């Protein structure tokens, strides 16, 4: 047996052409039956396994596939269903499974939040009033399927108990010991059944171990893995970490597991340094993540082989696995079909398929069978991209490197601006608005396709978009909204739209990745220096403003969200790239203001997700992230009102930085966790304008007026009513027209009722 073997941690679920998404959405629409869904998704799942085998990967994961989300899978496997869904035990039905994820007519969906610092979202398990039970052994079924259907001895993947509990809500954290004891026997049962089936190994993912973990945490971890080893000694456990370095390496390598997976890409060198300092146990397998599982660039095979060879020296008597730094679900399926990309750029890309090939090349090279030609091709591709003019715009580079010379503060503080803005805008108490987008119907998508394919002229497409804008300006006025938006009908995606109009970005044809549920996004590729070319949003916004006397907000995506929702070049720091984007966006903000648009929303929903996983590294990131936002928004007049929007992710953790953005108004996605966020304002004062989302746009459910009145009232207990706005919690692009109109009517009515009740109180 060779000393180094190739291994994978997870593969994209969505299919090469998003077949997974299409099947699920057909099922939701009632156009296919449950049996058809199972059949179609099984075909995708088996194709994924066959592909990995054909690429030469020796260790192939199973149970990394899902019908929506792998954390939701784990929750339903253990019967963790919120009581509002009236679950009575046993295997969870598909209706209940999707109800927890999306809500239904009787119950609201569970909260959704970011998966660590990625743009993937998971459904947060709710443990209150739940007695866990093993409803179905998903890893066992996946292992059995791969073996019976394809003769593949797969490695079952299971979310680790400690990570699962740390990502869950609804239990007393001071009683974590008791909660662990509720679930631990079920994990034992899963492993026992796998061992009885013949599985020799299981991969247990504990990415929580790369966050800030203390000695108390490790006591729990040690207890969990000692119990699994004692109760199921016949199965080997690969304890898998990813997304960064582990802090307490010595304790981790001493755990009673047979293999340990470490990230040698996003660890900033710390995992390798720990290996140098402390060595590695000779009785364990070291799974080395040396191919980037989160970005789309070819690996520098020479550099990564050098790392691998050093690992071989440091763990000389150890079986070594070469694998991605994380699951490949964060990258597109294949670069093979990207025929429209510039050849220099395409040659420098590696998606999931190509990363599997790199794994095999590195494993072979480490075993003394280096493919010199393949290494040379990779080397030349990287060199060609680095030498391209797109990566060498000196003026852009210089401006971003000298941001201290650029204005980054408004002329006056918020107190002064607020007085001037009140005079100018004359808005009612508790003004209503939306976040920006309106439903992108099949008709809208079809029109865009006709234009992109050349079937429509630019004039035809503009006429169509303008008709949509006009229609929704009328609808907003009829509903009674105070501050309007143009609806973003010309935009596919809030990042892609801007990237298409800025230098330094490229766009794939099929580079889709899963964001949440069936929602797939096609992240831009930032491959060169970012530069403003021409106004991007002025035409549509000015047209919308011409149709109404009410203010219309200009809508932009902020520099940090564009950064965090793109695949970013790695030859420059993310900080420098963010400054390039910010300085380009500043020119767009100024163009809007010059065109008479003096409410401008610069959205930063991804600000928090870019936080490093270790708290000690937060301040540095937040400092440059806040500066990037301010670089893009600080040159406008006092009367120009800057809005921003962000998603709720433990807002209280970064409230000082949110305040430092100095936006005149911030709207926050809160409807799934409204009470938790309101509670944070009982502890922290927020001195600027704010709108807490009063209903959940991720669900088709139309909330009642009373529900929203209650939400508004709760917020006004801790926030200044004079600074409070009423809005949905996110954009409405994915919603249907009728539900959108009805929900907004209820929102406006709720605002009116609260205005009346507050005026009576004041009298």
DSSP-derived 3-state class of residue 453: coil
Short-list 359, 383, 384, CA closest to 371: 359
539 is in an annotated binding site: no
Six token digits for residue 591: 């163009």
Find the angle CA(287)-CA(288)-CA(294) to the nearest 5 degrees.
115
Contact 390, 503 (CB under 8 A): yes
Residues annotated catalytic, as ranges = 698
To the question of whether residue 425 is assigned a binding role by annotation, the answer is: no
Which region holds residue 628: left if phi is over 0, alpha if psi is between -120 and 50, else beta? alpha
Question: Rounded distance, CA 730 to CA 629, Å?
Answer: 20
Q: How far is CA 152 from CA 4, 45, 145, 158, in A?
A: 19, 13, 9, 18
Of 569, 634, 572, 574, the residue nearest 609 (C-alpha): 574
Q: Please tell me whether residue 690 adopts helix, strand or coil conformation.
A: strand
Torsion angle, alpha carbons of 241, 606, 631, 726, to 10: -150
User: Is 115 annotated as a binding-site member?
Assistant: no
Name the token pair of 506: 């490229």
- In this structure, the number of other CB atoms found within 10 A of the CB of residue 218 comes to 18
* Residue 20, annotated as binding a ligand: yes
Distances (CA, A) of 352 to 307, 370, 377, 688: 21, 21, 18, 44
Number of neighbouring beta carbons within 10 Å of residue 698: 23
Q: Is 164 helix (H, G, I), strand (E, B) or coil?
A: helix
End-to-end CA distance of the chain: 85
How far is residue 555's CA from residue 553's CA, in Å, rounded to a whole number?
6
649 is in an annotated binding site: no
436 is in an annotated binding site: yes
- Tell me, what DSSP letter sits at residue 433? B
Q: Is 114 annotated as a binding residue?
A: yes
Nearest to 518 by CA among 20, 73, 17, 105: 20
**What's the token pair of residue 283?**
């009785």
Q: Which residues contact 635 (CB under 8 A, 6 or more apart)?
A: 407, 586, 589, 590
User: Does 294 belong to an annotated binding site?
Assistant: no
Q: Where are the beta strands (DSSP E) in 694-745?
A: 724-727
**How would you classify the pairing of strands 519-521 and 513-516?**
antiparallel
| CA 731/CA 557 separation, integer angstroms | 12
What is the rounded distance in angstroms from the CA atom of residue 459 to the CA atom of residue 474?
Answer: 22
Return the beta strands (E) in 188-254 as ranges. Answer: 201-205, 236-240
In the 8-state DSSP scheme, what is residue 297? B
Q: Read off the tokens for 310.
A: 């050093």
C-alpha span between 598 and 425 (Å, rounded): 10
Give the integer Cα–Cα distance in Å for 285 and 4: 10
Which conformational region is residue 129 in: left (phi greater than 0), alpha (psi within -120 to 50 degrees), or beta?
left
Q: Which positions ≥6 away from 17 have C-beta within 8 Å?
A: 510
Pairing of strands 201-205, 155-159: parallel
- Return the bridge partners of 432, or none: 726
Q: In whole angstroms, what is the distance from residue 448 CA to residue 460 CA?
A: 10
Both tokens of 416, joined, read 């002064």
3-state secondary structure of 204: strand
Q: Is 16 annotated as a binding residue?
A: no
Q: State yes or no: 519 annotated in a binding site.
A: yes
Q: For residues 287 and 646, give the distance between their C-alpha atoms in angstroms, rounded to a whole number.
A: 37
Burial (Cβ within 10 Å: 0-12, 13-18, ≥19) of residue 269: exposed
Task: Cite the annotated binding site by residue number.
Answer: 18-21, 114, 435-437, 488, 519-520, 565, 603, 609, 645, 647, 669, 730
Residue numbering of the annotated binding site for L-methionine = 435-437, 488, 603
Residue ranges of the binding site for L-homocysteine: 435-437, 488, 603
């Amino acid at each position: 047996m060779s000393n180094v073997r190739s291994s994978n941690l997870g593969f994209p679920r969505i299919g090469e052409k998003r077949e997974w998404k299409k099947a699920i959405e057909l099922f939701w629409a009632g156009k296919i039956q449950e049996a058809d869904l199972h059949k179609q998704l099984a075909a995708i799942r088996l194709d994924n396994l066959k592909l990995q085998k054909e690429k030469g990967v020796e260790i192939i994961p199973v149970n990394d596939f899902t019908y929506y989300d792998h954390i939701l899978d784990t929750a339903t496997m253990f019967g963790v269903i919120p009581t509002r869904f009236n679950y009575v035990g046993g295997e969870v039905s598909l209706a209940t499974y999707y109800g927890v994820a999306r809500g239904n007519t009787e119950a609201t969906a569970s909260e959704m939040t970011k998966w660590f610092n990625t743009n993937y979202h998971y459904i947060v398990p709710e443990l209150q009033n739940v007695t866990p039970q093993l409803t179905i052994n998903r890893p066992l079924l996946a292992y059995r399927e791969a073996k019976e259907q394809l003769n593949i001895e797969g490695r079952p993947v299971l979310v680790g108990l400690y990570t699962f509990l740390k990502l869950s809500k609804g239990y007393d954290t001071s009683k974590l010991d008791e909660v662990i004891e509720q679930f631990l026997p079920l994990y034992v049962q899963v492993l026992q059944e796998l061992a009885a089936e013949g599985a020799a190994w299981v991969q247990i993912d504990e990415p929580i171990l790369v966050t800030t973990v203390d000695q108390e945490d490790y006591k729990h971890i040690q207890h969990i893995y000692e119990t699994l080893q004692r109760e199921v000694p016949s199965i080997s456990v690969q304890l898998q970490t990813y997304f960064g370095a582990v802090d307490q390496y010595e304790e981790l390598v001493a755990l009673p597991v047979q293999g340990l997976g470490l990230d040698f890409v996003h660890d900033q060198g710390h995992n390798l340094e720990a290996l140098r300092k402390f060595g590695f146990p000779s009785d364990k397998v070291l799974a080395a993540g040396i191919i980037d599982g989160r970005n789309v660039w070819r690996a520098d095979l020479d550099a990564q082989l050098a790392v691998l060879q050093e690992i071989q020296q440091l763990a000389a008597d150890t079986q070594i696995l070469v694998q991605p730094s994380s699951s490949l679900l964060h990258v597109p399926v294949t670069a093979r079909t990207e025929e429209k990309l510039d050849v220099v750029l395409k040659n420098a890309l590696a998606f999931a398929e190509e990363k599997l090939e790199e794994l095999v090349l590195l494993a072979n090279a480490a075993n003394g069978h280096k493919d010199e030609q393949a290494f040379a091709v990779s080397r030349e591709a990287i060199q060609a991209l680095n030498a391209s003019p797109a990566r060498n715009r000196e003026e852009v580079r210089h401006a971003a490197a000298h941001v201290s010379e650029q204005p980054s503060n408004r002329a006056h503080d918020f107190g002064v601006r607020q007085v001037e803005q009140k005079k100018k805008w004359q808005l009612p108490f508790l003004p209503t608005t939306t976040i920006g987008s309106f439903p992108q119907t099949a008709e809208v998508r079809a029109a865009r396709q006709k234009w992109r394919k050349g079937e429509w002229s630019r004039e035809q497409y503009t006429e169509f978009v303008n008709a949509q804008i006009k229609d929704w300006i009328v609808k907003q006025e009829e509903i009674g909204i105070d501050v309007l938006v143009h609806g973003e009908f010309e935009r596919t995606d809030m990042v892609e739209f801007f990237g298409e109009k800025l230098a330094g970005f490229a766009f794939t044809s099929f580079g889709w990745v899963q964001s949440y549920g069936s929602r797939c996004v096609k992240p831009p590729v930032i491959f060169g220096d970012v530069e403003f070319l021409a106004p991007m949003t002025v035409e549509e916004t000015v047209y919308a403003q011409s149709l109404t006397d009410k203010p219309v907000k200009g809508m932009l995506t902020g520099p940090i969200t564009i950064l965090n929702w793109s695949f970013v070049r790695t030859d420059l720091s993310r900080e420098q790239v963010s400054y390039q984007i910010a300085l380009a966006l500043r020119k767009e903000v100024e163009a809007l203001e010059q065109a008479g648009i003096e409410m401008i929303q610069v959205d930063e929903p991804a600000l928090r997700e870019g936080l490093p996983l270790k708290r000690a590294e937060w301040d540095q990131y937040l400092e440059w992230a806040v500066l990037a936002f301010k670089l893009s928004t600080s040159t406008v007049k006092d009367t120009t009102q800057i809005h921003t929007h962000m998603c709720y992710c433990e807002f209280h953790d970064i409230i000082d930085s949110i305040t430092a953005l100095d936006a005149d108004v911030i709207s926050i996605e809160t409807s799934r966790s409204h009470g938790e966020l309101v509670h944070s304002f009982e502890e922290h004062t927020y001195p600027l304008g704010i709108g807490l989302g009063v209903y959940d746009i991720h669900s088709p459910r139309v909330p009642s007026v009373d529900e929203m009145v209650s939400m508004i009232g709760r917020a006004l207990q801790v926030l200044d009513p004079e600074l409070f706005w009423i809005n949905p919690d996110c954009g409405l692009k994915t919603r249907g027209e009728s539900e959108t109109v009805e929900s907004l009517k209820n929102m406006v009515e709720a605002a009116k009722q609260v205005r009346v009740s507050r005026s009576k109180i004041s009298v």
